[in-house]
Amino acid sequence: MKKNEFTSIISWILVFLLIFMFIRGLREIQIEKEIPYSEFKKRLYSGNVVEVKIKSDTIHGKYYDEDGKIVMFKTNRVTEDNKLVEALEQQKIKFSAEPDRGWFWSILINFGPVLLIFLLWYLWAKQLQSGGKQAMLFGKSRARLYYGKNKSEVTFKDVAGCDEVKEELQEIIEFLKDPKKFQRLGGKIPKGVLLYGPPGTGKTLLAKAVAGEAGVPFFSASGSEFVEMFVGVGASRVRDLFEQGRRHAPCLLFIDELDAVGRHRFAGIGGGHDEREQTLNQLLVELDGFDTREGVILIAATNRPDVLDPALLRPGRFDRHIVVPIPDIKGREEILKVHTRKVKLSPDVNLSIIAQRTPGFVGADIANLVNEAALLAARKNKDAVEMSDFDEAIEKVMAGPARKSRVISEKEKKIIAYHESGHALVAKLTPGCDPVHKISLIPRGPALGYTLQLPAEDKYIISKQELINKISVLLGGRVAEKIVFNDITTGAQNDLAKATELATKMVTEYGMSEKIGPLTLRKREEEIFLGRDYLTREKMYSEATAKLIDEEIKSIIETCLQNVEKLLSENINKLNALAQKVIEKEVLESDEIDSIIRNN
Ligand code: ADP
Ligand code: MG
Ligand code: ZN
């Protein structure tokens, strides 16, 4: 029997004992009727007493009352009455004496229940503690310990599709392997590494893998565990985590979901959260207080770097930031390889095709996908997992509640590919546009894909032609959709908003419209916020001018739209080739884009 079970059985027995004693006590209180000695004697002489037990101070017994019912009674003994025994004998009543409880029993009866309660509470607390759910009373950190050398050995072999991240972490592994070497050379190692990226991209896994690669102990705690109901508990847990770290150096401390403790102070509804603030302060103190020379490295993970308190990110704290990205098509294939290592695959399974069909999937989705496929195959009593199982599983994972918003279907992928290619191609074919660096189908923020255009040099003034070019590039996405699918989608909304904004500025601020002339008709935004002359702004031009402004804006957009349509229609081959390549590879760098445009 395990120790745990043993203590739980003991505590059950104690609970029953307690209940038993309680009931007994109740019975004694309720059922025995206390009567005066004189009444007892009267009933004795009238012959309706049945049984008597004599103690040193009291007499207990039963009598029949007037209705013939049995009543249990108790009376205080009058010791001067030495005729009692005589009377009892005379009435032929069964009587006996009972010794008093000794002092020990009295104490036990009186204090036993209280003692029991304490004992139970103690056992309960201890059990929680040993069960991994430490009692809240002791303020110890719940850091779990994994020894990289022993079990649960996660290494970089188990993490795929994020080679840059691994490379960045390499230095830390080297350090943990041999801290002295680094100290000798006087190198400075980052104290704290912050991994951030969307959920399920493998941040926790990477941290474990670092410990596994370096072969050092791994202490992990989740930020949410530090935020407790009671003020001060979280802070003491933080202290304890670092204490453990120092004792086991060299080792790796990992704080998952840092945002749970590290949220910007004073932010949020209801103002400060005392407990969290204290915990965060303690964390900052510990971060400042420990020295990498001790051989302890701290890694934290979050998917909300934007809400973190800036104090956490200052030099000397979490000063190394590493983005863990959503994997691209190649990354997904690698991750698939990792997760199918122990799965029996039928020869028809093509992992690169699966990778193609799963844009937007992160590592956790892929792990889930492989598992679902294996389950489906097992349900059908197959010997190996087939491609059809994967197809079915993809649909299942995509339909999952959490993924709906992020995962892209194949059709959508095609539309996004043409949209982004449209932007890129317009930018490439229009002289004077900023160079295109990258086309990507990997979702970033609210955008499903993006075309990265970086200016060749810093610019402080922009010409009219450049603005027209910008608008054209923005319209390129929608126009490509329209030409190819003869339909338009909501995906271009942000582009259109930006294009309209630019055209409006051209007309009302930069004085670039011929019909209106060089007038600035709109006050700058800042002034509106001052609230001073909101009304004057409204009155700055007449209804007729307002109409003219609208027409001019529309005309700029229309002209651009026509030019872009002409441009893309004439270069439809290039557009098709580009989009095809984007669908295939998901990410195109500038030289690939150039060569496709040149060769088609
Ligand atoms: P995060 O901490 O970023 O939310 P996790 O590390 O908890 O993500 O990932 C959850 C699971 O998804 C992992 O246990 C692993 O099975 C799988 N996974 C995620 N990313 C990867 C990856 N890059 N390579 C292999 N498996 C991954
Ligand atoms: Mg995690
Ligand atoms: Zn766009």
| Ion ligand 2 contact residues with beta carbon within 5 A | 204
Q: Which residue has the tokens 């503690």?
A: 129
- Domain boundaries in the chain? 3-104, 144-323, 329-398, 410-598
Give the pLDDT of residue 456.
66
CATH class of the 3-104 domain in this structure: alpha beta
- Judged against a pLDDT cut of 80, whether residue 474 lies above it is answered with yes
| Ligand 2 center from residue 327 Cα (angstroms) | 16
Mean pLDDT: which of 113-117, 183-187, 502-506, 514-518 is highest? 502-506
Q: pLDDT class for 285, splitting at 50, 70, 90?
A: confident
How much is the average pLDDT of 187-204?
Answer: 85
* Strand-by-strand arrangement of the 58-64 sheet: 33-34, 70-76, 58-64, 49-54, 94-97
- The CA R_g of the chain, rounded to the nearest whole Å, is 40
Kindly state if the Cβ of 331 falls inside 6 Å of ligand 1. no
In the prediction, which pLDDT does 452 show? 77
For 66-90, the three-class secondary structure string (H helix, E strand, C coil) is CCCCEEEEEEECCCCCCCHHHHHHH
User: What pLDDT does residue 266 have?
Assistant: 55
Q: What percent of the chain has pLDDT over 70?
A: 81
485 class by beta-carbon count within 10 Å (0-12 exposed, 13-18 middle, 19+ buried): middle
What SS3 class is residue 263?
strand
- Global confidence as pTM: 0.59
Ligand 1 pocket, residue 340 CB under 6 Å: no
Q: How confident is the model at residue 409 (pLDDT cuts 50, 70, 90)?
A: confident
Q: Which amino acid is at 527?
A: E
If one compares 336 and 108, the residue with the highest pLDDT of the two is 336
Q: How confident is the model at residue 1 (pLDDT cuts 50, 70, 90)?
A: very low
Overall average pLDDT of the 43-62 stretch = 82
Catalytic residue numbers?
A: 420
pLDDT digits (tens, 9 = 90+) for 295-353: 888 899 998 888 888 888 888 888 888 989 888 888 999 999 999 998 999 999 999 88
Helix H or strand E encompassing 370: helix 363-379
Whether 185 has a pLDDT exceeding 80, the answer reads: no
Question: Which of 3.90.110.10, 1.20.58.760, 3.30.565.10, 2.170.190.11 is the CATH number of 410-598?
Answer: 1.20.58.760
Average predicted confidence (pLDDT) for the chain: 80
Please choose, from the candidates 201, 575, 199, 584, the residue with its C-alpha nearest in 3D space to the C-alpha of residue 410.
Answer: 584
Least trusted range by pLDDT, from 195-199, 492-496, 537-541: 537-541
Give the position, in ligand 1's atom list, of the atom nearest the Cα of 334. Answer: 24
- Report which secondary-structure segment, H or E, holds 373: helix 363-379
Task: Enter the DSSP assignment of 161.
Answer: S
Mutational test site, ligand 1, from 205, 258, 322, 340, max ligand atoms within 8 Å of CB: 205
Residue 123 has pLDDT above 80, yes or no: no
CATH number 3.40.50.720 given to 329-398: no
pLDDT digits over 429-470, tens only? 998 888 888 888 877 655 667 777 776 666 677 888 989 999
- Cis ω on the peptide bond leading into residue 250 (within 30° of 0)? yes
Assigned CATH for 144-323: 3.40.50.300
